[in-house]
Structure 1
Amino acid sequence: MNDATTSLLTEHFSYTPLSLIDDIINSINNLIYQAISSLETGLLATPPERLGFGHASNGSTIPDTDEDGNVVYPEAKLEIENGLHQLETLLEANVDKAFDKFEIYVLRNILTVPEDLLFWVRLKHYEGLSFESSPDTPTPETIHAQRKKLLETRKLNRSLKDECARNEAVISQLKSILSTVESAKSDGTADKSQTTPKKDLDLSFLTSSPAARQLRVGVDAGTNSKHAPLTTNTNFILSQLPALQATLEQLRPKLASLPASTVEMETKSKRDERKEYIESRIRLHLERAGQLAMGDDGNPVVAGRRIDISEAHALENVANMLTQEHKSS
């Protein structure tokens, strides 16, 4: 049986042919289990003497009895269970063997459709249907185009909804501003606000910080001042940027053409200069703080309090940070 025959029979019967055969086999197995169960009940209820069990009559042993005085045969129940199990196994093996033949026969000769008639069979619910394709039948290309158009339409709809939400937020803000102005006009505060000069935007934080005061940023030019205001400095820096960029473009090819040893020597010399500079600044700071003095031989002599280990670690961390920054640059 091929897939086409199975599909046709399944659609006709509303169940697969193999499920029908499985139901028949399961029904036979249930009958076997019921017969074995009834047989077990009958054998256990029959007195063991009638089944051929008995004790030796030599008088040397006394048989065991139950509460009613009946002789007990413990080996009878064990033998009955063993015999029933063997009978059940024998019946199941015979049923499986016989119904395997039954399954093959039914699928080949009864629940089947000849191949030469397979494509001529038409079920009742297919009557009146036309299987010829019409010119309006969609093709995979048209379906793909419609799907793409649907995706673009959804994307446009989503963007329009977002734009509408933004416009509503702006409109609500404008309405709140208009309501505030109208309420101010009604209270007579609008005229007062018109006569009051408008306060300039406060950007003093750009020039009032400690770093700005130290660098003299934002100081107005006057008769007693040699520094230019912030706008003049900014305009000058912006005007110099093109020249700096042009110089860098000229220097990059020359730097690439230099030998590697020259670049390494220059880098090493710069690293040594930075190290000497850091050491000199540290020595100068310690001398000013009264914690370091120079001896006659030129070596530093510790004076005053002893340097704490945490301060030494902090100075080492600063030196390492400056070295790493130089390497990254």
Structure 2
Amino acid sequence: MTDATTSLLTEHFSYTPLSLIDDIINSINNLIYQAISSLETGLLNTPPERLGFAHAANGSTIPDTDEDGNVIYPEAQLEIENGLHQLETLLEATVDKTFDKFELFVLRNTFKIPEDLMGWIRLKHYENLDLNPPEDAPTAETIAAQRKKLQETKKLNRALKREYAQNEAVIAQLRQILSNNASEPDTTKANEEAPTTETTQDLDLSFLTSSAAARQLRVGAVAGPGTQHTPITTNTTFILSQLPALQACIKELRPKLATLQQQSEDKMEADSKADARREYIESRVRLHLERAGQLAAGNEANPVITGRKIDIAEAQALESVMGLLAEGGSKSE
């Protein structure tokens, strides 16, 4: 089957041809399972004696019985289950093999539509439809291009609207400024220097005297009837009077700070040079002692300095001297 045939049959059946074949195979499998289940029920309900099961006739053993007195055959149920499983497996394999052939036959013959008939088949919902589009009919490419143009146009439209709103806001602000400038009367120089009531109202410094911290520091507290302290003014005046002296001190200390930093840097550099020279001298001394054999194995931080090496003859002479001294001491005693 070709893709065109599959599409046509799917459109006609409203399902694919393979779905029909799968439904047929599933129906056969369901019939097999029902038959196996019925056969299992019948075999389990049949007395084992009728199926050929029996105990040994020597009479040496007594068979087990159930509550109704029927003889129990444990091997009967096991053999029935094994037999049914083998039968089910055999039927499934046979169905799979047979219906694979059925599927190939149906797809190659029943559901096959010749190529020369594909253009002549008209389904019911094809009526009054012109399946031969004109030359100027839109194609998938042209539709995609138009859709892209539409998206770009919408994007440009949104950008223009946003720009228009921003421009309108700027124009409104400019118009308000122009209207305020036109409505303001000419004032004298004294009025320009004097603070206006609006400025005073905008500059609200009441928190300096009415906040909780101000009350805790007794800033703006009422000292008597009709009298109010103004320590903020006093403190501010004092701080402003001390600013020139503070600036002079800073100006005087700034060169000293630079000199101090330079001296500290020079001292650190000299210390580093002295440490490097000391380490070099110690390393050279240690190397000389190692070469001369005067430095024994030990801790590098606390090296063990050995004395002069003694020959064997000198050691023997010292031993003889010690022996003579020991003999002289024993005789004197």
State TM-score, norm by structure 2.
0.52
Counterparts in 2 of 1:14 and 1:193: CA distance versus 1, 3 Å? farther
Which AA in structure 2 matches 1:166?
Q
Q: Which residue matches 2:45?
A: 45
Structure-to-structure mapping, 1:196-211, within 5 angstroms = 196-197=192-193
- DSSP-derived class of the 2:38 partner: helix
Which AA in structure 1 matches 2:192?
T
Q: For this pair of structures, how many residues does the alignment match?
A: 213
Question: What's the CA shift for 1:143?
Answer: 4.4
> Identical aligned pairs, as a percentage?
68
Counterparts in 2 of 1:142 and 1:29: CA distance versus 1, 3 Å? closer
Distance 2:178 2:171 in 1: 10
Q: Does 1:113 find its partner at 2:92?
A: no
- DSSP-derived class of the 1:57 partner: coil
Show CA shifts across 1:73-113 (max 9, x none): 11111000000001111111222222222222222222221
Show CA shifts across 1:98-133 (max 9, x none): 222222222222222122222222223223322333
Q: Which residue matches 1:78?
A: 78
Deviates more, 1:7-16 or 1:24-33: 7-16
Q: Which residue matches 2:19?
A: 19
Q: Which residue matches 1:284?
A: 263
| Unaligned 5+ runs, structure 1 | 200-207, 215-279, 300-329
Which AA in structure 2 matches 1:27?
S
Which AA in structure 2 matches 1:26?
N
CA contact 1:181–1:190 (8 Å) conserved in 2: no
Distance 1:146 1:81 in 2: 69
Q: Which residue matches 1:251?
A: none
Distance 2:265 2:102 in 1: 107
Q: Which residue matches 2:104?
A: 104
Q: Rg bigger for which structure? A: 2
Q: Which residue matches 1:268?
A: none
State TM-score, norm by structure 1.
0.53
Q: Does 1:195 find its partner at 2:191?
A: yes
Question: What's the CA shift for 1:32?
Answer: 0.6
Distance 1:144 1:39 in 2: 63
Question: What's the CA shift for 1:17?
Answer: 1.6
List structure 1 runs of 4+ shifted beyond 4 angstroms.
139-145, 171-182, 189-194, 280-283
Which AA in structure 1 matches 2:263?
L
Question: What's the CA shift for 1:137?
Answer: 1.9
